[in-house]
């Protein structure tokens, strides 16, 4: 673990379900076995702001699901209800903590929410 995070930026519509897929990799770029670990997805107005979407919140406003542990693939979902009030640019981070407690920022970037007309 410890590779520089994958930087991504993309647009979505507010009020739509947001579904993201990440692959956690090591320094060599090889997929990390996710068995026994956990992921956290957070979304905020800027990198230093408090999250408005957080898979670690109670109740969570995003869900992290392992797709295939041996291949390092995870899925993150933010429901349409939770994205409804979002408009403009938001910074996100996806962190993975392995079974030994080592944390890695696997992906980060910006999501731009545009107003949904309906």
pLDDT at 1: 44
Task: Could you list the beta-strand ranges (E) of the chain.
Answer: 6-13, 18-23, 38-44, 53-54, 63-68, 73-78, 88-97, 103-114
pLDDT of residue 2: 42
pLDDT in tens, 21-32: 999 988 888 999
For each of the domains in the chain, give its residue range(s) and CATH number, in order of start.
6-114 (2.60.40.10)
**Rounded-to-integer distance, Cα 6 and Cα 84, Å:** 26
pLDDT digits (tens, 9 = 90+) for 70-105: 999 999 999 999 999 999 999 999 999 999 999 989
The first and second tokens of residue 96, run together, are 């993975």
Q: How far apart are alpha carbons 89 and 9 in whole angstroms?
A: 10
């Amino acid at each position: 673990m410890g590779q520089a995070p994958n930087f991504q930026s993309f647009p979505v519509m507010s009020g739509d379900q947001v579904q993201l897929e990440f692959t956690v990799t090591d320094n060599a770029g090889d997929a990390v076995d996710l068995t026994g670990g956990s992921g956290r997805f957070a979304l905020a107005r800027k990198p230093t702001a408090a999250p408005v979407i957080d898979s670690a919140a109670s109740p969570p406003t995003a869900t992290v699901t392992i797709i295939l542990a041996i291949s390092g693939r995870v899925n993150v979902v933010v429901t349409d209800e939770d994205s409804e009030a979002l408009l403009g640019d938001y910074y996100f981070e996806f962190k993975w903590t392995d079974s030994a407690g080592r944390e890695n920022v696997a992906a980060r970037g910006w999501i731009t929410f545009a107003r949904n007309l309906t």
